[in-house]
Structure 1
Amino acid sequence: MTQWLAHVDSGDPQVAHRLFELLYGELRRAARAQLRREEAGHTLTPTALAHEAWFRLAEQSRTRWKNRSHFLAVASTMMRRILVNHALARRAEKRDAELVPLTLGTLERWTGTPGRDLVDVHEALLAFEAVDARAAKVVELRFFGGLENEEAAELLGISLATLKRDWAVARAWLHRELRVR
């Protein structure tokens, strides 16, 4: 895998194709994990999210891939951005949508309050990044990237104990912040 990552910027389409084959399952797994946190009926599928992230990663010309964990961390960031942009576009569509009068029939079809809005989580994470950038990166790698503690610690160059401390602080801070919103 590392040999393919080292040559991904060679411009050889076969290298990119082989890398995609090797990492496709993991990209789909990460996409499924991210979409699991979304509302039911999301218009993006795990396949579409994985492919969109891959297309954006393929455009990266200055990134030197260190290893699989580095690639997947950047992929998770891409997926997060795609989902946030998608959520913002849907919000804009809703603002521009035709108002529907509330009747007993439409009230019965309403499914209740949606889950935590991804945009709220994204904004809270951005605010937390100003407080503790490293711990915010831990959240991004663990929550959005689906990396295990050991992988995230290695990628950040910190000890496992430090990562666990950062993760606990970040979760507490974000929980408090999101409860206020």
Structure 2
Amino acid sequence: MNDITVLLRAAGLGDAAAAEAVVALLYADLQKLAHSRMRQSGHLTLLDATGLVHESYLRLYSKLHKADGEQQQQDFPDRKHFLAYASRVMHNIVIDMVRARQAARHGGEFEHVTLNTAVAELPPQGDDEILRVHEALAELAEMDPRLAQVVEMRYFGGLLEAEIAQTLGVTERTVQRDWQKARLFLSMALKA
């Protein structure tokens, strides 16, 4: 077992010092994820990559500690699982910011949106598109959670197929097939 794995397990058991050490050791990887996420959201957030990493750390820390200060267990068996979780947290931060901005713009009410754009390799360009993709991804997660995980890790986290396969415990070919299925589903969902 390497040092990161030991630290991740300790952090998962609520060791705050271990959690800080993990973030310090994986800071460059977290920055890479954040830069990828920021390229996809463009000007849509007020955060920069560093702010996104720090906000992610705060959410991770709050997940490891209950409101009463008691620690709770979170399982991060290795670096890949931690980075997959971090990519999901970063995705959620951007979605939360977009929703908050829309709520403010629309007097606190969400506007009903019709899904009518296709998923492409290019990132969403506006608040509405980001929310459409997010809603379609949530629908996909209800049907097939692994397909949604592949999309989150690849599209939002920037992980390679080999990294995704290792994290999910499947072959690279399975990840490729999952990616194709997920893209087809999201494309159809966004055209509806």
Question: If the TM-score is normalised by the length of the shorter chain, which range does it land in?
Answer: 0.7 to 0.9
**Mind listing any 5+ residue stretches in structure 2 that lack a counterpart?**
65-71, 109-124
How many angstroms apart in 2 are the aligned matches of 1:134 and 1:11? Answer: 27
State how 1:157-168 maps to structure 2 within 5 Å: 157-168=169-180
Q: Distance in 1 between matches of 2:180 and 2:42?
A: 26
Is the radius of gyration larger for structure 1 or structure 2? 1
How well do the aligned residues superpose, as a CA RMSD in angstroms?
A: 2.0
1:40 lines up with 2:43 in the alignment: yes
Q: CA, structure 1 residues 158+41, in 2 after alignment: closer, same or farther (shift >3 Å)?
A: closer
Aligned residues: 164
Match of 1:74 in 2: 85
Distance in 1 of aligned mates of 2:175 and 2:153: 11
How do 1:149-160 residues align onto structure 2 when only pairs under 5 Å count? 149-160=161-172
Q: Deviations over 1:62-100 (max 9, x none)?
A: 212100000011111111111111110000111139xxx
Q: CA deviation at 1:11?
A: 5.2
Whole-Å separation in 1 of the counterparts to 2:14 and 2:136: 38
Q: Distance in 2 between matches of 1:43 and 1:69?
A: 28
Q: Sequence identity, in percent?
A: 36
Q: For residue 15 of structure 1, report the CA deviation from its aligned partner.
A: 2.5
Aligned partner of residue 55 in structure 1, secondary structure: helix
SS in 2 for 1:7: helix
**Equivalents in 1 of 2:14, 2:185: separation in Å?**
43
Alpha-carbon contact 2:12-2:76 (below 8 Å) kept: no
2-side partners of 1:134 and 1:160: how far apart? 13
* Runs of 4+ more than 3 Å apart: 9-14
1:179 aligns with 2:191: yes
Aligned counterpart, 1:89: 100
**Residue 175 of structure 1, CA deviation:** 2.1
